[in-house]
Amino acid sequence: MLKDSSTAVTLRPIHENDGDFLLALYASTRWDELAQTPWTETEKRRFLRNQFSLQQQHYQAHYPEALRNIIYRKQRDIGRIDWIMLDTELLLIDIALLPAYRKQGVGSSLLRDLQQRAIQSRKPVTLSVTYFNPAIALYQRLGFRKITESGVHWQMQWTSPIQAQQVVEPTVS
């Protein structure tokens, strides 16, 4: 549980019966993007179901050991956060909040918690985000920097100031 009462949330493991919530959450993160298409609402929902299914398959295939959690607040599921500690990094796989809970400090608090875990493990935090995702502003405020770009995705990384100071620049002789 996070300590700040204004952003207090509980994390619980994702269960099989969370599928409807997770699909609705996923759709909430993509609905504005799909507003640009001439598709019917039925076509948009079918597309979102397919994309969500592919995303979940990808997560399971590539990160079977990840910690997958529902973000829970005041007796309501409000989001998800999936992450994994790898050999060289703490990888944030996914974080999403329902629209009514965005811009209230919940995401910032969760990300700061991951940053603390990364400091303790002496690893950077990395994530992938589409360049048009409004969350980029949050990531940048918390010190994440773009390290690579591929298509519509940015790979971003946060390194603690302590770790950054410990990087020794090679000397030229």
Taking 90 as the threshold, does the pLDDT of residue 5 lie above it?
Answer: no
Alpha-carbon torsion angle 105, 74, 28, 125, nearest 10 = 40
Taking 80 as the threshold, does the pLDDT of residue 166 lie above it?
Answer: no
Taking 60 as the threshold, does the pLDDT of residue 31 lie above it?
Answer: yes
Taking 90 as the threshold, does the pLDDT of residue 171 lie above it?
Answer: no
Please report, rounded to a whole number, the percentage of residues in the chain having pLDDT higher than 90.
Answer: 83
C-alpha distances out from residue 67 to 60, 63, 90, 115, 149, Å: 11, 9, 11, 16, 26
pLDDT at res. 169: 52
Q: What is the mean pLDDT of residues 12-19?
A: 96
pLDDT at res. 1: 41
Q: pLDDT class for 165, splitting at 50, 70, 90?
A: low
How do residues 43-76 score in pLDDT, each as one tens digit? Answer: 999 999 999 999 999 999 999 999 999 999 998 9
| List of domains in the chain | 7-165 (3.40.630.30)
DSSP letter for each residue of 121-153: HT--EEEEEETT-THHHHHHHTT-EEEEEETTE
Q: What is the pTM of this model?
A: 0.87
How do residues 77-134 score in pLDDT, each as one tens digit? Answer: 999 999 999 999 999 999 999 999 999 999 999 999 999 999 999 999 999 999 999 9
DSSP letter for each residue of 70-110: EEEETTEEEEEEEEEE-SS-EEEEEEEE-GGGTTSSHHHHH
Q: What is the mean pLDDT of the chain?
A: 91
Q: How many CB atoms are closer than 10 A to CB 70?
A: 20
* Structure-block tokens of residue 13: 């493991």
